[in-house]
Chain A
Amino acid sequence: MKKLAPWQIALCVAALVASVAFPLVVKGTFPNHVMIMVFLFAMMGVAWNIMGGYAAMFSFGNVAFFGIGAYTSTVLLMNYNVNPWIGLVAGGLLAAAAAAAIGYPCSNIRSHYFSIATIAFAEIVRIQFNNWKFVAAAEGLSLPILPEGFRNFMFHSTKIPYYYIILALLALSLVVCWYISVTRMGYYLRAIKESHELAKGMGISFVRYRLYAIMISAFITAMAGTFYAQYILYIDPESVLILPISVQCVLVTMLGGAGSIWGPVIGAAILLPISEVTRVWLGAKGTGIDMMIYGALIMLISAYQPQGVWGYITSIGRRTK
């Protein structure tokens, strides 16, 4: 990776200070909720970026990992009284295992075929959960209300602790993504993205590195799922296993700039406020306007600005040099 320019470092520090200070300055539930959604989807975008942005495995099925994370921690908590923090890790591990199970046979499948395979996988998972009595099928699960506190990963009187938890999880994901990008794995994923032949010729086992990328991505996405369950306290297949969530992961990354560390964060910071605010303004659910805007955005970005916002900024930076 190129070294960060001073203005980039300044920007990072400013962003970090601003995010830490935000809930102290801005009071009110709704702004905090919007920011939590921004961080949540930024985190899922970062996860998607590891496989999609770096290794060109365009998944439309990451929601399966999100759902696995949400369901694992919730079922462990409800049925076995396992602490959600342990559930967070357990969900991540289970999702990574599922990713390995699906990713290994998929490791030779490229581009479109891979994308469709991910949708097929996510749909199978959704159908299974929709009919699975053990997880209350389509009825969904309401989490038991525990005394609030960090230990129980549950807060009822204020959303601010959730805010800092998801900020910390996002920061963790960013560190993981950054670490990958500056070490061997990042180089190898970019080589694989360029060409499988080239990668093989340079001694890179693309099966192995693609698998690593999918598993790490699944782990992070599942952690986001557990967070979502603990935050909303109710999950059902229609809220944690549907295609639009997968699409959102792709979209925030693409809008911000795929293959760059900050891309997903920028994308989420632009997109989620739009979608949350339109949802509140337009009130009624199911008008389709927010999704329509999404669709139009995807079309227009891919047709006219496929490098995303970050790509646009850096291209300006390069031109003015």
Chain B
Amino acid sequence: MSEQLVSQLVNGLLIGCMYSLIAIGLTLIWGVMNIVNFAHADFLMIGMFTSFWLYTLYAVDPLYSIPVCAVLLFLLGWVIYKFIVSKVMTGPGLAQVVVTFGVSIFLANLAVWLWTPDFRMIQRPLLHGTWDFGAVQLSVPKTVASIGSVLFSAGLFLFLRMTKTGKAILAVEMNRTSALLMGINTEKVNALSFAIGTSLVGVAGAFLSMYYYIYPQVGGTFGLLSFCVVALGGFGSIEGAFIAGILIGIVQTLGGYFFDPAYKYAIVFAVYLVTVWIRPQGLLGW
């Protein structure tokens, strides 16, 4: 019984790391532009399909698709920002909330149209099987994916603090007007942050494709979960999102373990509602 609990905890930790990587991109976009990217998890789906097709058509292992996904999703994010999202930045509130919702529906159903709504899997990825630690068995792809997402999260963290561009992004996040006055091209920073956010989630897609079902609507659940992560971590906070991702992963698996697995997501959504009721600025926010 307790052995099962430990393995559930470990599982929660592993999936939580994925949530972290997905959510830091979302929180970056949110913080910099004050726009919720409802399409965020659909970029995840695009990343997963990219990796799937590279594997199926050209026998490229998901592990090697990671840079491809990163670049492709970066470009896609840039284009979507330039032609759609940037147009609403000064528009009415409704447009700002709704626009990425449209992107989400469009991308998900484009995938349905192109690739049918079927569930797919990558049959034999390079990384497969389990590592046996006696009490706990670790799935190899899940573990590697989690380690990878921690590395990428750390990479973003360092990028924002160490590089000039990163510091410009942080400056805009803190105060857009002052940043503008100090000669930072905020429009470019917006586009860049959006593209970095989608690029990171594309990387997450490549990792996830190693062990998760790939289907057009996969974004739905992940999207909602990443909102909960961002809320919990404090809106716009990278470190917060990282910690909260792991927390949500654990809450979800433990919720499924102690209650009913059918309700595991309902529990996470309830956590979101309670969080914004009590602390509208996010649980780990200041």
> Could you say which residues of chain B place their CB within 8 Å of the CB of A53?
94
How many chain-B residues does the 8 Å CB contact rule pick out? 51
Which A residue's beta carbon lies closest to that of B271?
A: A120
How many A-B residue contacts, CB cutoff 8 Å?
A: 157
A131 in contact with B263 given A291-B105, A297-B102 (CB within 8 Å): yes
CA distance A302 to B94 in the complex (A): 8
**B17 at the A/B interface (Cβ < 8 Å)?**
no
Task: Report yes or no: A302 in contact with B98, Cβ–Cβ below 8 A.
Answer: yes
Distance in angstroms between the alpha carbons of A131 and B235 in the assembled complex: 32
Checking A109, A128, A244 against B266 with a beta-carbon cut-off of 8 angstroms, the contacting residue is A128
Q: Which residues of A contact B216 (CB under 8 A)?
A: 288
> Which of these binds chain A: B110-118, B126-134, B162-170, B183-191?
B110-118
Q: Which 7 A-B pairs have the closest CB atoms?
A: A298-B102, A295-B106, A288-B112, A295-B105, A288-B109, A299-B102, A302-B95
Q: Which of B94, B220, B263, B276 contacts A109 (CB 8 A)?
A: B276
Shortest beta-carbon distance, A18 to chain B, in Å?
A: 29
B-binding segment of A65-73, A110-118, A197-205, A223-231: A110-118
Q: Is the CB of A299 within 8 A of B106?
A: yes
Contact surface of A with B, Cβ cutoff 8 Å: 52-53, 56, 58, 60, 102, 105-106, 108-113, 115-117, 119-121, 123-124, 127-128, 130-131, 243-244, 247, 250, 254, 258, 286-289, 291-292, 294-304, 306-307
Least CB distance from A49 to B in Å reads 11
Judge whether A292 and B36 touch: CB under 8 Å. Answer: no
Question: Interface residues of B: mostly helix, strand, loop or mixed?
Answer: helix
9 CB < 8 A contacts A-B: A56-B93, A112-B36, A116-B224, A123-B269, A288-B117, A289-B113, A299-B99, A302-B88, A302-B91
**B87 is an interface residue with CB less than 8 A from chain A:** yes
Nearest-CB residue, chain B, relative to A102: B273
Does B192 have its Cβ within 8 Å of any Cβ on chain A? no
Point out the residues of chain A lying under 8 angstroms from B92, CB to CB. 306-307
Q: Could you say which of A53, A112, A128 has the most chain B C-beta atoms within 10 Å of its C-beta? A: A112
Given known A115-B36, A254-B98, A303-B95, contact A127–B113 (CB-CB < 8 A)? no
Q: Nearest Cβ distance between residue B141 and chain A, in whole angstroms?
A: 28
Q: Are B265 and A123 closer than 8 Å at their CB atoms? A: yes
CA of A301 to CA of B84, assembled, Å: 10
Docked complex Cα distance between A306 and B97 (Å): 11
Q: What string of 1s and 0s marks CB contacts (under 8 Å) between B54-92 and chain A? A: 000000000000000000000000000001110110011
A292 pairs with B110, CB closer than 8 A: yes
Q: CA of A292 to CA of B111 in the docked complex: distance in angstroms?
A: 9
Other-chain contact of B272, A58, A102, A116, A306 (Cβ < 8 Å):
A116
